[in-house]
Amino acid sequence: MLPIGQKLNSGELDDTLRYLYGDALNTQKQKYAALINAFESAFGESDDAVLFSAPGRSEIGGNHTDHQLGRVLAATVTMDTRAVVAPRIDNIVRIHSQGYTPLCVSLDHLSPEATEENASEALVRGIAERFTQTGRNIGGFDAVTASDVPKGSGLSSSAAFSILVSTIFSELYNNGKITPVEQALASKYAENKHFGKPSGLMDQLACAVGGFVMMDFEQPEQPKIEKIDCDLAALGYEICIVNCGGNHADLTPEYAAVTKEMGDVARYFGKSVLREVDEKEFYASLGQLRKTVSDRALLRAMHFFGDNARVPKQAEALKQKDMDTFRSLMNESGRSSFMLLQNVCPTDASERGLALALALSERMLAGKGAWRVHGGGFAGTILALVPLDLLSAYQAQMERVFGQGCCYRFAVRPAGGTKIG
């Protein structure tokens, strides 16, 4: 048995695992034990193997605000991407991810490879390149990974993988000194320059920081971060993500239109993003704006100003453990997304799953919980804040309508990317 397996079995890692996963200690130990066995089968014995984990994330407040350099409230979840990792003496990275083709990347060459676009190899190479550009150390490693973050759930499975890789580089070759912001920026660089995805910074930063976190992207290279200590279960609530189905692949024009239309309003004022626009000047100029931009663009700008202002109020309510105010603000955000941002239903009539899930949630949770579209919208998932005494009934109702396993229940994880031991 590998030394890390002996540590796991002896209980030496229990405190860290309990901190990350709460009451699911025994289940998680079984998952890591299976992963250790898979590592030994793939790469043989290693006295230097260690365990790593990076969580998925949920967007709690601030819908489509980050690309306008606004504020977001997010939380990491107990669903994560786990790894058993051992350093190598060369610059080769080998990763066996369960359910995927093994990858192998040489860090001797870090320029983008056209053949790696939309592939995990691009993320590894891009993160390594960014770290070398900023004076950080890199090196090879072998890893076996597994993930509980469902693809298409809106919980950022790709960001969890990227932060896992950046955490490995930090811990193995930089004494754990690479900050969460650096890791998030490197992950964003890899997605933008190597992977070919024009993502923002919110997903990666939330996964890197961990817990409830308010992020302000007014200065995107130096975002402001505030962690918030809040135990939802102790306050009588749990978060559910409901996967309503639908195909994101056909919705790229819808997502692009949100960014473009908000940008159209900003450009009217000679600015590049709405965060730079004075809200009072915007409302004073509505009559003239209608001659230049669409009404939908104006509604989406109104959503930005409202949701951007709501985020710090939500954060303060969490800090004060004022769940009545928090629920009210979360529902305000959800109504704003539906009515102003209009990212619940796509332009054509093909997808109405999100609207149905929101309507059912309101019927069950009115006056007791909260509900809103989750992430990009138009298809995919909603988020609900559910009182503990309604959890079973809520989950059962959602699964009767949208299918078995569609409703994910999770606790908020207090840490981001982590070396476990």
Q: Is the pLDDT of residue 247 over 70?
A: no
Alpha helices in 108-179 (DSSP H): 120-133, 157-173
Residues 185 and 254 in one domain: no
Q: Is 401 within a domain? A: yes
Q: Give me the CATH number covering residue 121.
A: 3.30.230.10
pLDDT in tens, 46-79: 999 999 999 999 999 999 999 999 999 999 999 9
Of 89, 67, 63, 79, nearest to 308 (Cα)? Answer: 63
Of 393, 365, 335, 390, nearest to 63 (Cα)? Answer: 335
Taking the C-alpha atoms of residue 337 and residue 210, their distance in angstroms, rounded to an integer, is 25
Residues 162 and 241 in one domain: no
Helix (H, G, I), strand (E, B) or coil at 146: strand
Residues 380 and 258 in one domain: yes
Amino acid 211: pLDDT: 96
| CB-count exposure of residue 206 (10 Å: 0-12, 13-18, 19+) | buried
Q: Is 186 within a domain? A: yes
Q: Is 226 within a domain? A: no
pLDDT tier for residue 149 given thresholds of 50, 70 and 90: confident
- Number of C-alpha atoms within 13 angstroms, CB side, residue 311? 27
Of 118, 168, 251, nearest to 418 (Cα)? Answer: 168
Q: Is 212 within a domain? A: no
Sign, CA torsion 338/344/348/351 = negative
Q: Is the pLDDT of residue 351 over 90?
A: no
Amino acid 259: pLDDT: 92
Taking the C-alpha atoms of residue 109 and residue 131, their distance in angstroms, rounded to an integer, is 13
Query: What backbone phi and psi angles, to 5 degrees, belong to 367?
Result: 80, -5
pLDDT tier for residue 250 given thresholds of 50, 70 and 90: confident
Q: Is the pLDDT of residue 194 over 70?
A: yes
- pTM equals 0.92
Range of the domain at 167: 3-56+76-191
Residues sharing a CB contact under 8 Å with residue 50, sequence separation 6 or more, in sequence order: 4, 84, 85, 86, 171, 419, 420, 421
Cα–Cα separations (whole angstroms), residue 82 to 30, 50, 187, 209, 258: 12, 11, 17, 17, 34
Sign, CA torsion 261/197/354/330 = negative
Residues 380 and 281 in one domain: yes
Q: What percent of the chain has pLDDT over 90?
A: 86
Taking the C-alpha atoms of residue 323 and residue 62, their distance in angstroms, rounded to an integer, is 18
Helix (H, G, I), strand (E, B) or coil at 62: coil
Query: Which range, of 144-158, 321-335, 370-384, 401-415, averages the lowest pLDDT?
Result: 144-158
Residues 177 and 244 in one domain: no
Taking the C-alpha atoms of residue 383 and residue 373, their distance in angstroms, rounded to an integer, is 6
Helix (H, G, I), strand (E, B) or coil at 2: coil
Side chain identity at 365, as an amino acid letter? L
Q: Is 106 within a domain? A: yes
Count of CB atoms situated within 10 Å of the CB of 340: 19
Q: Is the pLDDT of residue 358 over 70?
A: yes
Residues 325 and 246 in one domain: yes
Residues 277 and 385 in one domain: yes
Asked which of 191, 221, 244 is the last residue of a domain, the reply is 191
Asked which of 139, 170, 191 is the last residue of a domain, the reply is 191
Residues 277 and 131 in one domain: no
Are the C-beta atoms of 112 and 125 separated by less than 8 Å?
yes
Residues 157 and 288 in one domain: no
Work out how many domains the chain is built from and give that number: 2
Strands 141-147 and 71-87: antiparallel
Q: Is 216 within a domain? A: no
Residues 160 and 258 in one domain: no
| Mean pLDDT to the nearest integer, 97-126 | 95
Residues 52 and 176 in one domain: yes
Taking the C-alpha atoms of residue 68 and residue 65, their distance in angstroms, rounded to an integer, is 5
Q: Give me the CATH number covering residue 398.
A: 3.30.70.890
Residues 162 and 264 in one domain: no
- Number of C-alpha atoms within 13 angstroms, CB side, residue 46? 23
Amino acid 253: pLDDT: 86
Mean pLDDT of the chain: 94
Asked which of 164, 191, 218 is the last residue of a domain, the reply is 191
Q: Is 310 within a domain? A: yes
Cα–Cα separations (whole angstroms), residue 183 to 38, 117, 187, 362: 27, 20, 6, 38
pLDDT tier for residue 239 given thresholds of 50, 70 and 90: very high
Taking the C-alpha atoms of residue 7 and residue 85, their distance in angstroms, rounded to an integer, is 15
Q: Is 218 within a domain? A: no
Taking the C-alpha atoms of residue 240 and residue 407, their distance in angstroms, rounded to an integer, is 6
